[in-house]
A = this chain, B = another copy of it.
Amino acid sequence: MAESPITPREKDFAAWYQDVVLQGDMAEPAEIVKGCMVIKPNGYAVWEVLQRALDDRFKATGHQNIYLPLLIPQSFLKKEAEHVAGFAPELAVVTMAGGKVLEEPYVIRPTSETIVGHFFAKWIKSYRDLPVLINQWANVVRWELRTRMFLRTTEFLWQEGHTAHSSHEEAVQETLRMLDVYAEVAEDVMAMPVIKGAKTQAEKFAGALRSYSIEAMMQNGLALQAGTSHDLGQNFGKAFNVQFQTNEGKLDFVWQTSWGASTRLIGGLIMTHSDDKGLVLPPKVAPQKGVLVPIFRKDEERAQVMERATQLARDLGAHVDTRDGLTPGAKFFHWERRGVPVVFELGPRDVTSGNIVMKRRDTGTKEVVPQAEVAGKFAALLETIQKDLYTRAKQRLKDKTVLANSLDEVKSILNDVTAEKGGGKFVMVHLKDDPQNDAKIKEFKASVRNIPSVDEYDGAGKCILTGETVDRRVVIAKAY
């Protein structure tokens, strides 16, 4: 695809995002399938890194992967009342198959709690069968009206964990453990600071007792829910009759959890770190951490430069851009837009002097380094970039978070900002967890993102709407 200019963030954040996604070879809209996208090579390679980071941690916490059917009998959705109410408007329905009209239609899974319920009822008979700790990597379909690549697409890729436990306490522990795993991957791997916390009752998953999320702040100050973990209580256990014999010989329904993270993470990654030149990837998620661009004009320089470039690239684990017919400048531009953390330049004079040029994608800083030291310097630089990207994002989160103590204050902060141009804010407010209060906030096209697990502010205070005492401030923001 031809390369075109990237709209600056200041001018139009949404257009900037779309340009970065396209020019970074991350994805493109699949306009012929409503609200879908094609995940392109660079985007899919980042997804593979995130999959590995998550999957390793799921396995380390005792989970096993399985695969459940894509299609779910329509009647299954109806077994849990809140669940069907939440998902019915978004379902894609298969009514014909094998040339015949189906007696009972199937829906394409929007999520798999119901089919999991069906199989848990077959697999779980006794407390000895518990806990059941499973996960699946899958595609799901939710017929969304407004879509945006990675952030909200009709079909998306995700993992969904599903677990069953013999006590509520254990299920809650699991829910919070997996929330911690998401936070760890977001912060340590993606360099994307997040706020862990409970969703309000109004914002919880359809069918959950309690939902938890990690919320990240994008560069424009908007919030992105980047992962959720649900304490399902016994709701699905009762809906699908998943009963087990307790160790006292009684019958009880299982306590379940579910938790998911999706290709949406990639949208968060892009909007956390990228700049007006294109994609910026933290080294830990970059499929290609370094690329070496050889520079030569004459044929006699070519052999000399290429030989040294090949040796050095092998030592560095870097890719050598050997493409013919492209200027070095075009190559730098190419890798810059794809977010490669470090690009090396090696020309005839570098071969002679024993140096090499090392350029950081995030700051654009160039450094001339002796070839003998470059491997160590490169490794150190990757660590520095990873740390710096996190620090910058953390500082931004701090800078754009404000406290408010009245509805008027909330209103003026939320109405004042033009988030499209980067003026969004996280507003920390004492607010009681009550759907009526959530509704009031929605009037400003914002929402309660979560009730933080850790209070970093001033503890208890009076709800700005009801005056009742609540034990900490919630996060209010406009969100994707």
Contact = CB atoms under 8 A, between A and B. Distances in A.
A56 interface: no
A67 B93 CA distance: 22
Contacts of A48: 65
Interface in A113-136: 115, 118-119, 123, 128, 134
A97 B89 contact: no
Nearest to A44: B65
Nearest to A99: B89
A318 interface: no
B39 A66 contact: yes
B70 A44 contact: no
B71 A145 contact: no
B67 A44 contact: yes
A143 B38 contact: no
B66 A44 contact: yes
Contacts of A92: 71, 94, 96-98, 106
A160 to B, nearest CB: 14
A71 B123 contact: no
A32 B118 contact: yes
Nearest to A75: B32
A33 interface: yes
Contacts of A99: 88-89, 91
A354 interface: no
Given A45-B64, A69-B155, A145 B98 contact: yes
Nearest to A95: B95
A70 B155 contact: yes
Interface string A29-56: 0101110111111001101100000000
Interface residues of A, number: 55
Contacts of A98: 89-92, 143, 145
B143 A69 contact: no
Nearest to A129: B1
Contacts of A38: 66-69, 119
B89 A65 contact: no
Interface in A67-118: 67-73, 76, 88-99, 105-106, 108, 115, 118
Contacts of A70: 70, 108, 139, 141, 155
A157 interface: yes
Interface string A357-375: 0000000000000000000
Contacts of A108: 70, 94, 108
Contact of A41 (B34, B65, B143): B65
How many copies of the shown chain assemble into the complex?
Answer: 2
A309 to B, nearest CB: 20
A170 to B, nearest CB: 18
Nearest to A116: B38
A65 B157 CA distance: 14
A259 B94 CA distance: 27
Contact of A95 (B44, B96, B119, B145): B96
A419 to B, nearest CB: 27
B72 A33 contact: yes
A94 B145 CA distance: 17
B96 A96 contact: no
A387 to B, nearest CB: 29
A97 B106 contact: no
Contacts of A143: 97-98
Interface string A294-330: 0000000000000000000000000000000100000
Contacts of A90: 98
Contact of A93 (B76, B94, B134): B94
B69 A30 contact: yes
B41 A71 contact: no
B93 A95 contact: yes
Contacts of A36: 69, 71
A321 to B, nearest CB: 15
B64 A44 contact: yes
A41 B69 contact: no
A138 B71 CA distance: 15
Contact of A73 (B32, B69, B95, B115): B32
Given A1-B123, A95-B96, 5 more contacts: A45-B64, A47-B67, A70-B139, A93-B94, A139-B139
